[in-house]
Amino acid sequence: MTMKPSTNSLCTPDEHQVSRRQLLGMTAAAGALGLGGLGGLVNPLIADDMKSKEKQVLFIWIDGGMSQLESWDPKPNTQFGGPFRSIPTSIPGIHLSELMPRTASIMHKLALDRGVSTFDNSHSAGVPRINRGDPKDRGVVYPYFGSAVANLMGPGDSGLPPYVWVKPGSGGFKYQDAGFLGPKYGALAIGEGEAPPNILLPGQFDDDSNNERNALRKFANKQYKSQRPPTFSEAQDFVYDTAQALMQRRSLFDDPDPADVERYGDTPLGRDMLIGRKMIEAGVRFVKVNSYGWDTHGDNFNGHASLMPRFDQAFTAVVEDLDQRGMLDHVLVIAMSEFGRTPRINGHIGRDHWPEAWSIAMTGTGIKQGAMIGETNEQGTWVTSEPHDIGHFFHTWFNALGIDSEHTEYINDGQPLPIANDDCTPIRELLA
């Protein structure tokens, strides 16, 4: 088996150096994404069918660094605790920030580790390191978690892309996430949670003529790659094929049920989370939903007073929906950032980057609901329990998905590579 990750979230000039052929492939794929899925919510028969499906991942990425002190690990009435109170949750003795009342009500369905301790305190280093699981330097670029899951578990039987990224900003095909696995395992990004343009065939084409054109394209590609390395040709074929599948699923981007919008929140994160849920329902193997704007070096408390309720609403809604449909039995849900924020408050009333002590929450398949592990000291400055680095979580998540992380390897050009940092092991307290 083989797999590999991507680079950081900031684009570089190299990312824009693609050929016209590749650009057309990306555009087609992005357009295809505008196609549908199950639309509204699933009926009981579909829900029963979903229960039997293979395991999937909903990965909620809070870009910039959510403050653990204003969320999962509040320290009210302490030197660095800030102005917000803590509130009881559905687990006796466990408290969250008062900015998370909805999450507090479903805490018994979640698992939480407050003992996360990583190393990189910059976005440029922390984002790729966390997304790749901090593998040892083996001379290759490892894949992001989404690309890894797509490679190790395959696309499933939906015909849809195995790795979809719902995000603010632009969409397209993000091949960089795949690392040594090759562009085929990159992310198909949906920008702004909206259907990309050109999701319908132009008026002068019907299905038959479109099939003929694609047959000609495949013939030309086969001739082209017969005497060239197949990596990019295979990736392009994959993009076109998944685009065709998506064009048959346009209902994914139908106007959502107003009741869903109200429950998830009429916010960028609420709308994107709703599309993420639809993608999971439609059978996408790995769905990443992004939220930006969390880098609160200034005015941290007002920033979190605005951001946390949006997360609280959308996160609780999607967990409750998946639970009610019986889908938490096969969907792993993860909510995390690249690091936490400093206990010490800076001169701009902000919190800076703090990888030394923060929190990660999860639920779903393979995860022990109600598991609350990890502790920080009274000021929230350091982990006082056994610290867990991101490599421990990759082992844990792979095992939750049924992958033996300590014995499964990627094979990269004949070179065996561990799928997770071999200095780390699964966190057994989090596994069901």
Looking at the domain assignment, is residue 12 inside a domain? Answer: no
List the pLDDT tens digit at each of the 432 positions of the chain: 443 333 333 333 333 333 333 333 333 433 333 333 333 333 344 344 444 458 999 999 999 999 999 999 999 999 999 999 999 999 999 999 999 999 999 999 999 999 999 999 999 999 999 999 998 899 999 999 999 999 999 988 888 889 999 999 888 888 999 999 998 899 989 988 776 666 666 767 777 777 777 778 777 877 777 777 766 677 677 767 777 777 777 778 788 899 999 999 999 999 999 999 999 999 999 999 999 999 999 999 999 999 999 999 999 999 999 999 999 999 999 999 999 999 999 999 999 999 999 999 999 999 999 999 999 999 999 999 999 999 999 999 999 999 999 999 999 989 999 999 999 999 999 999
CA distance 126 to 65: 10
pLDDT at 166: 96
Closest CA relative to residue 351, chosen from 336, 359, 361, 340:
340
Q: Is residue 8 part of a domain?
A: no
* Chain center to CA of 346: 30
pLDDT of residue 192: 83
* Residue 243, token pair as written in the block: 């685009």
- Nearest Cα residue to 321 out of 274, 271, 270: 274
Two tokens, residue 228: 């060239």
Task: Please list, residue by residue across 341-377, b when 16 or more beta carbons sit within 10 angstroms of its beta carbon and e when fewer do.
Answer: bbbebeeeebbbbbbbbbbbbbbbbbbbbebbbbebe
Structural contact between residues 321 and 257, judged by C-beta atoms closer than 8 angstroms: no
Q: Are 159 and 238 in contact (CB under 8 A)?
A: no
**Residue 224's domain is classified under what CATH number?**
3.40.720.10
Find the radius of gyration of the CA atoms of the chain. Answer: 21
Q: What is the pLDDT of residue 15?
A: 36
CA distance 189 to 432: 32
Tell me if 262 is assigned to some domain: yes
Is there a domain that residue 65 lies in?
yes
- Separation between Cα atoms, residue 262 and residue 258, nearest integer Å: 6
Q: Give the CA dihedral 136, 139, 140, 145, nearest 10 degrees.
A: 10
* Count of structural domains, the chain: 1
Structure tokens, 149:
């899951």
Q: Does 47 map to a domain?
A: yes
Where do we find the tokens 């002590």?
Answer: 357
SS3 338: coil
What would the DSSP string read from start to end of 76-119? TTSTT--S--EEE-SSTT-EEETT-HHHHHTGGG-EEEEEE---
208, containing H or E segment: helix 207-225
- Distances from the Cα of 89 to the Cα of 100, 324, 361, angstroms: 10, 20, 14
pLDDT of residue 418: 97
Domain extent, residue 277, equals 19-430
- Beta strands 340-341 and 353-354 are antiparallel
* 82 located within any domain: yes
Asked whether residue 205 is assigned to any structural domain, the reply reads: yes
pLDDT at 197: 60
Q: Is residue 3 part of a domain?
A: no
Give pTM, 2 decimals: 0.83
What whole-number distance in Å separates Cα of residue 159 and Cα of residue 245?
6
Alpha carbons 390 and 117: distance in angstroms, whole number: 8
CA within 13 Å, CB half, 45: 0
